[in-house]
Amino acid sequence: MTDFECVKEQFNLLMAQAQYWQKTWNSRPGYEWKMTIGLWTLLVVSVAFMKEEPPVWFLIAIGIILFLLYFHWLRGLWNANEDD
């Protein structure tokens, strides 16, 4: 194998890798917005079906838990986008 063939093969492998990462980066927004809409829909529907007003401490606790879970999910997306 000549040096040119070796360089060409390495270039083709690197291009295939770049195309793979571009595909994952481009497909990620397709489910990011769906998850966000789903979360907000779940929150609105759960409020609509409440029979009576829950205690304030319960609402605060649920809000904090949801915020932390959502932040954890977004942080993973930020890291994945940064790596891509």
Whether residue 7 lies inside any domain: the answer is no
Q: How many domains does the chain have?
A: 1
Q: What is the pLDDT of residue 1?
A: 66
Domain range for 44 is 21-83
Whether residue 4 lies inside any domain: the answer is no
pLDDT tens by residue, 12-59: 999 999 898 888 878 877 877 888 888 888 888 887 787 788 888 988
Read out DSSP for 14-27?
HHHHHHHHHHHHHH
Whether residue 75 lies inside any domain: the answer is yes
The answer to whether 71 touches 12, Cβ cutoff 8 Å, is: no
Whether residue 1 lies inside any domain: the answer is no
Mean pLDDT computed over 57-83: 84
Whether residue 68 lies inside any domain: the answer is yes
Whether residue 16 lies inside any domain: the answer is no
Q: What is the pLDDT of residue 16?
A: 92
pTM, two decimal places? 0.52
- Tokens 């063939």 belong to residue: 5
